[in-house]
Structure 1
């Protein structure tokens, strides 16, 4: 499966977990992780969907981005913005960044994120085999021994 095919699958299967206003261009940058972590993101989406249904919060929380940063899986989930109540959109902007009161749904989202990120810390982003955080010339990746060796060869051949 290609990255584009995987993103299309997630976009279709878990459409309620993403802001419906996202454009095709937004989707190009929304999920930027390697194939070894795709099963973890799918698992996250499945668990998130179940938790939101359980708490009656479907459509009230959206995955904003899924990426690798400093060798770790980062999944950003935020409350959906409020409806615009004025012409310039100021109220929408405020609602998106305003702190939220603790809720059962938010607590469950945090627990699910923690579990999935913990698994990703032990999983090669390239192939999904057991791996760990590696550092090379100040760059971080979570990868298996084989992909670490390939990465070293690639970095030294430049």
Structure 2
């Protein structure tokens, strides 16, 4: 399966998890991880969709981006922005405390932590057991085979 095919399958099966206003340009950068982590992305989407349905929160949260950063799987999910009521806002601004985490936000955060922890032990390229490797300030989570190939491409071996 190609990356484009994987993204298309995620878009189709988990339509409620993504902003319907995303453009094709948005989708080009929305999911940018290697195939070894695709099963983890699939698991995250399936479990978050179930969680949101169980709590009546479908369509209230959108995945904004799934990427690798510093060798770690990053999943950004945010609640859908509420339209701003300017009259209410100006009258009550001084009385607002920062919002408290909701049970759904905490469950989504816990799920993201579990999936990220699995990714920390999984080669992003092939899905085999792996770990974090650093070369010249570049980070990558991969197995020994893909670490060696990475070093060779960088001319370090």
What TM-score results when the alignment is normalised by the length of structure 2? 0.89
Counterpart in the other structure of 1:107? 106
- Partner SS state of residue 21, structure 2: coil
Counterpart in the other structure of 2:79? 79
Counterpart in the other structure of 1:30? 30
Structure 2 residue 133 is matched with structure 1 residue 149: no
Query: 1:7/1:100 Cα in 2 relative to 1: closer, same or farther (>3 Å)?
Result: farther
Unaligned runs of at least 5 residues, structure 1? 87-98
What TM-score results when the alignment is normalised by the length of structure 1? 0.88
Q: 4+ runs of 1 displaced by more than 3 Å?
A: 83-86
Q: Which structure 2 residues correspond to residues 32-47 of structure 1 after superposition, within 5 A?
A: 32-47=32-47
Counterpart in the other structure of 2:67? 67
- 1:70-126 deviation per Cα after TM superposition (whole angstroms, max 9, x unaligned): 00000000001113667xxxxxxxxxxxx5421110010011000000000000000
Unaligned runs of at least 5 residues, structure 2? 87-97
**Which deviates the most, 48-57 or 142-151?**
48-57
- Partner SS state of residue 115, structure 2: helix
Structure 2 residue 8 is matched with structure 1 residue 8: yes
Counterpart in the other structure of 1:116? 115
Query: 1:155/1:4 Cα in 2 relative to 1: closer, same or farther (>3 Å)?
Result: same
Q: Distance in 2 between matches of 1:104 and 1:123?
A: 29
Counterpart in the other structure of 1:94? none
- Partner SS state of residue 82, structure 2: coil
